[in-house]
Structure 1
């Protein structure tokens, strides 16, 4: 009896050991990459980047391991674009740097190409006409753009509301920090402001010291960074801010088709999640500014928005042709349905 019990225990132990060793262990990473993005830890964009990395690791059984570096610790978006282009960084989640190619303004700042998030999804989503064009523009700089992570619709934060905020043909004396790229400067001049190009890192102190009365360059999420020095948000929708999950093209070309499919699918999944959240994120930060800091929130009526968009398109788009080239501008006019002035 004792021998039978001992035999049973030995057989059970052998079965457990066989089951344990038959489970395939996760592979050692074949690739260890870094993905840089500038938004704070805990933000939606930090979450999207980390979920993308998690899915890629899970679906490759650990062969591709991606460490996410948030908060700009590897450099700002202009620096990481160059690093990605040269291959000293494997991946990032950022916008295009038009300093390398003015045509890349289509991938970042192009005023009133769209007027709301629904239009933006049709144009910049995976089936949109701008999606493939932008991918080709990035590829010319050795970058494979995988999918858009939408940040939302832009506007301006100011110390006070100008009386002529809805009339672009009336000039006011308010100095607005604009991103140091020409289309931004042209747009806010056309909207009646004194456009003052200032790097983002210097913007807070510029508003504090009176060099600028406010800032543009992003959706209400960005205005939140200036909650203590501004008091008004105007939802101009002057541009949709598209950030992209991207990978160095040389690295992409070395991957198997199966691994490329895993990366592309994971990027599009995170893109789809953020498209559904983008409008709600804009509203969340408008409400936070209003409820927690007493900001005045100005939402343009459809008529006001149409008037400003039409004015900017007529005043600014022709000036973009020397930057983007006639061929690309012809495509933009054709695809957007906006007639040439």
Structure 2
């Protein structure tokens, strides 16, 4: 169902009294800045909570200055469509994911084993993090302004009901398993290296594919999405092979049309919402894992040896492949950031 919310315009007082019937009174009211904020995720997703925080902060600190039409849940298209619509200016603001078709350097967003803990993820991607300026430069070249990198969660591999598979030793356990991956070359390469048969597939087709057995499982699954698809899953291997981030983006032309005070108000509201997200995301993740277990899904953690073997495969093979995709300088910068050799 379409949900539309607007920040109400404050009533503008008309200063002065009517002096003479013949006097011409110039209008003094300034219209609110209209803009659409959209994302493609469900109400359970952290994007929705971040949007609530952002809208509340903007309403409080810039009353009457913005008229925001809020569209969650994908009623304006899937996340890739909203990414493109924000580039063109059809959507003013979006919370989405890096679309690598528009700039291959965005493949760094799903590089495996960059962060190994929530603390590391915050230092790399959080407010003032070491990779924020890199992303900001990339998005600027795509006619977008990055307001914040948003934390989603670590990802894992989930197996459909009836598969009976629990892949924990790589690459041997992946043999013969058809696993859905996002239609991104980095995703395909990683799960080839980990021994699986990767099947590129849009997210919108995933639930039905799991339900019908077109794929045996899914990769790139943060707990929020596992919970969303809980009815068709039996096992969740929480590999933590990558840290999923979202991007809070605005159209650059729209942004540059704002005055300095308006920009400061929007950025301040985004900063406040992002700070809340980075503070609460780990707790939200723990709650989702508990819900997944209580629903009866088998949640499996890799032991240290299994984790180390998977990490070695990803950092030796995937990272080397990434050098040819995004450039050695950028990968070396990530190596320095993570202190990986």
In structure 2, C-alpha distance between the alignment counterparts of 1:310 and 1:303, rounded to whole Å: 11
Contact conserved, 1:111 with 1:239, CA < 8 A, in 2? yes
5+ unaligned residues in a row in structure 2: which ranges?
1-12, 16-28
Deviation, 1:146, is: 0.7
In structure 1, C-alpha distance between the alignment counterparts of 2:104 and 2:57, rounded to whole Å: 34
Q: Provide closer, same or farther for how the CA distance between residues 163 and 77 of structure 1 changes in structure 2, counting only shifts above 3 A.
A: closer
Q: 1:256-277: CA deviations, max 9, x gaps?
A: 2222121112111111111122
What is the number of equivalent residue pairs in this alignment?
315
Q: 1:160-204: CA deviations, max 9, x gaps?
A: 464551333554221110001011111112222211111111111
Structure 2 matches for 1:64-213, cutoff 5 A?
Answer: 64-106=66-108, 108-159=109-160, 160=163, 162=165, 164-169=167-172, 171-213=174-216
In structure 2, C-alpha distance between the alignment counterparts of 1:163 and 1:201, rounded to whole Å: 25
Task: Select 1:281's aligned residue among 284, 291, 316.
Answer: 284
The residue matched to 2:110 in structure 1 has which SS? coil
The residue matched to 2:340 in structure 1 has which SS? coil
In structure 2, C-alpha distance between the alignment counterparts of 1:71 and 1:132, rounded to whole Å: 29
TM-score, normalised via structure 1 length: 0.86
Deviation, 1:336, is: 2.4
Deviation, 1:327, is: 2.7
Task: Select 2:257's aligned residue among 247, 254, 259.
Answer: 254
In structure 2, C-alpha distance between the alignment counterparts of 1:216 and 1:336, rounded to whole Å: 23
Which structure has the bigger radius of gyration? 1
* Corresponding residue number in structure 2 for 1:61: 63
In structure 1, C-alpha distance between the alignment counterparts of 2:119 and 2:170, rounded to whole Å: 25
Higher mean C-alpha displacement, 176-185 vs 245-254? 245-254
In structure 2, C-alpha distance between the alignment counterparts of 1:247 and 1:220, rounded to whole Å: 27
TM-score, normalised via structure 2 length: 0.86
Contact conserved, 1:29 with 1:65, CA < 8 A, in 2? no
Contact conserved, 1:53 with 1:65, CA < 8 A, in 2? no
In structure 2, C-alpha distance between the alignment counterparts of 1:298 and 1:226, rounded to whole Å: 17
When the two chains are superposed, the root-mean-square deviation of aligned CA atoms in Å is 2.1
Contact conserved, 2:111 with 2:186, CA < 8 A, in 1? yes
* Corresponding residue number in structure 2 for 1:308: 310
In structure 2, C-alpha distance between the alignment counterparts of 1:65 and 1:209, rounded to whole Å: 44
* Corresponding residue number in structure 1 for 2:231: 228
Q: 1:282-335: CA deviations, max 9, x gaps?
A: 22222212212x110012234432321122110111111222123322322233
Contact conserved, 1:77 with 1:94, CA < 8 A, in 2? yes
Runs of 4+ in 1 over 6 A off after TM superposition: none
In structure 1, C-alpha distance between the alignment counterparts of 2:93 and 2:38, rounded to whole Å: 7
* Corresponding residue number in structure 1 for 2:244: 241
In structure 1, C-alpha distance between the alignment counterparts of 2:96 and 2:122, rounded to whole Å: 18
Contact conserved, 1:218 with 1:241, CA < 8 A, in 2? no
5+ unaligned residues in a row in structure 1: which ranges?
1-19
In structure 2, C-alpha distance between the alignment counterparts of 1:21 and 1:35, rounded to whole Å: 31
- 2:32 is the alignment partner of 1:30: yes
Q: Provide closer, same or farther for how the CA distance between residues 335 and 137 of structure 1 changes in structure 2, counting only shifts above 3 A.
A: same
In structure 1, C-alpha distance between the alignment counterparts of 2:107 and 2:133, rounded to whole Å: 15
* Corresponding residue number in structure 1 for 2:18: none
